[in-house]
Amino acid sequence: MIKWFIQHQWKQAIRSSIWQKNAALNIIIGFFMVIMLLYLLALGFFLDKLLEDIVKDANADITLSKIIIYYFLFTFLMRFFLQSLPAMEIIPYLHLRIKRSTIAWFMQFKSLISFFNFIPFLLFLPFALGYMREEFSGFQSFIWFLSVFLFELTSNFMLIYFKRKFTLNPKLILLLIGAIGLIIALDKFDLFSISNISLWYFTQLNANWMWIFLPLFSTIFFVFWNLSMIQKNSYLDDLSPKKTEGENLSAKLNLLQNFGKTGELVLGEIKLILRNKRSKSVVFLIPFFLLYGLFFYPQDLYNDKMGFLVFVGIFVTGGFLIAYGQYLMAWESSHFDFILSSNIGIHDYFKAKYFLLVIPTLILYFFTIPYMYFGMKIFWVNFAALFYNLGVNAPLLLYTASYNKKRMDLSKGAMMNYQGVGVNNFILVLPLLAVPALIFWPISVFFGHIPAVLTLGGLGVLGLIFNQSLIKFAVNNFKKKRYQIAEGYRQKG
């Protein structure tokens, strides 16, 4: 039986629509994957140096023992958003002559393929083979790595249980995030130190290898815990996600209806965003877009490169705009025939889309104002970037939306999801970020900072003044391409 499962799994993987897309996209994705893996591997090789650099008066293994618990907490949280339950995939097997326990084993087995389970090999194996082996014995380093890996597996199997619980009641996710926040806070204020517990455990482990049984037992415990849970709950009504939690927020926005057809369309689209998994995850990404600046602003290295600041500024003030606007019409691909044939004027439709790009961007801008802390220079760059986003990038997205002809399946999350993504998406994002930087940089080099900021902002203001004509331009482009777009959106899979 397991042989069949693996065979099906393999077929599912190689017949996945991802591979049937064009080679260029696969190469781009593959390229980013390789880069990411190399980053992790490099981090693994220099982990000891890095740790001793951060905490100067302690050995690397002590520091790592303290913070590794946070690594586990963090990856657990990441798993939450990225790792999917293979629940739906077992539905076709339920009515066949297969024991439920076999199915349950298979589900768990399948979860092992998750990328997270391989991270320890990149990040911690070099550390174990290098630093740990030199400082301790080969055996100890082996035990150390084994325990890290087993903890990762515990996290993997624990997730299966918790994720199931949490899909039944999504509000628990907030509870989890709150709990992790609390743990960090308690540690920070020295009330209760989870990192000391972590340190204590690994000290014990180094002294006595028998402590390996702790993560071993926890892994086995969760495997069997899940087995019984899956066997008891493998019914169609448990497996398919709960229907209609009822989403009330959009009902409160009824005042939008006073704005005629455009308002009605905007309201409809807000419902779209809030009620579909894929679009919701874009909303969840907003905080990350906003915090993106924190990576760069504290470092002087980047602060001097003005072109780079613009790049960051466009992204920080326009993260939502870019992430959402890329698929401007594709969001509605499943009912695009309705949009075309019902009494919605194309112009109204585009106007609604424009508002959906502009209003959230304006609101989100206020959250970027505190970046002033890193200098007024950043404030002014961001201010100009805001105008550029509103005046130039938003209409540009309206225009380029007509080049996106891939149907999107909204029921799946956005992370690592390339369904509905084409090479076009990558090509189209580049000018949004790069062009403003390319405009800004030479002007700031030759004429100084202030003229460069004024130019960038000025372009945005011009775009805002002429927004009606720009929208019309996008509409005309759409009218030429609408049959191809509609045809593309009808193609499922």
Partner 1 sequence: MIKVNDLTKAYGGETVLNIPTLTITKGESFGLVGNNGAGKTTFFRLILDLIRGNSGTVLSKDIATAGSEHWKDYTGSYLDEGFLIDYLTPEEYFQFVGKINKLSQQEIEEFMVSFEDLFNGEILGNKKYIRDLSKGNQKKVGISAAIMTNPEILILDEPFSSLDPTTQFRLKKLLKELQEEKQVTMLISSHDLNHVTEVCKRIVVLHQGDIVHDIETGKDTLKELEAYFAVQ
- Please report, as ranges, the residues that interact with partner 1 according to CB under 8 A: 243-244, 246, 257, 261, 264-265, 268, 271-272, 275-276, 332, 334-338, 340-346, 410, 479, 483, 486-487, 490
**Closest separation in Å from C-beta 371 to partner 1:** 35
Q: Which is nearer to partner 1, 224 or 483 (CB)?
A: 483
Give the DSSP letter of residue 86.
T
Place of tokens 């077929």: 11
Q: Which is nearer to partner 1, 163 or 278 (CB)?
A: 278
**Closest separation in Å from C-beta 330 to partner 1:** 14
Give the DSSP letter of residue 242.
P
Q: For residues 203 and 65, is the Cβ–Cβ distance under 8 A?
A: yes
Show Cβ contacts of residue 26 under 8 Å, excluding neighbours closer than 6 positions.
18, 19
**Closest separation in Å from C-beta 24 to partner 1:** 24
* CA nearest to 264, candidates 273, 253, 256, 275: 256
Q: Which is nearer to partner 1, 100 or 277 (CB)?
A: 277
* CA nearest to 129, candidates 142, 119, 111, 117: 142
Q: Which two tokens stand for residue 227?
A: 């087995």
CA distance readout (Å), 237 to 170, 234, 242, 276, 416: 17, 8, 8, 20, 27
Q: Which is nearer to partner 1, 272 or 330 (CB)?
A: 272
Q: Which is nearer to partner 1, 271 or 472 (CB)?
A: 271
**Closest separation in Å from C-beta 405 to partner 1:** 14
List, in sequence order, the alpha helices (H) in 208-248.
Answer: 213-233, 236-239
Coil/strand/helix, residue 420 = coil
Q: Which is nearer to partner 1, 54 or 251 (CB)?
A: 251
Give the DSSP letter of residue 414.
S
Q: Which is nearer to partner 1, 285 or 340 (CB)?
A: 340
**Closest separation in Å from C-beta 493 to partner 1:** 15
Q: Which is nearer to partner 1, 215 or 263 (CB)?
A: 263
**Closest separation in Å from C-beta 342 to partner 1:** 6
**Closest separation in Å from C-beta 483 to partner 1:** 4
Number of Cβ within 10 Å of residue 103's Cβ equals: 19
Backbone CA torsion sign across 388, 394, 396, 400: positive
d(CA 102, CA 365): 52
**Closest separation in Å from C-beta 336 to partner 1:** 7
* CA nearest to 64, candidates 53, 76, 48, 78: 48
b/e code 310-338 from CB counts within 10 Å (16+ = b)? bbbbbbbbbbbbbbbbbbbbbbbbbebee
Q: Which two tokens stand for residue 308?
A: 């780079």
**Closest separation in Å from C-beta 107 to partner 1:** 25
Q: Which is nearer to partner 1, 18 or 274 (CB)?
A: 274
**Closest separation in Å from C-beta 278 to partner 1:** 11
Q: Which is nearer to partner 1, 248 or 446 (CB)?
A: 248
Q: Which is nearer to partner 1, 20 or 240 (CB)?
A: 240
**Closest separation in Å from C-beta 404 to partner 1:** 17
Number of H helices, E strands in the chain: 27, 0
d(CA 318, CA 312): 10
d(CA 199, CA 123): 19
What interhelical angle do 100-111 and 213-233 show, nearest 10? 130
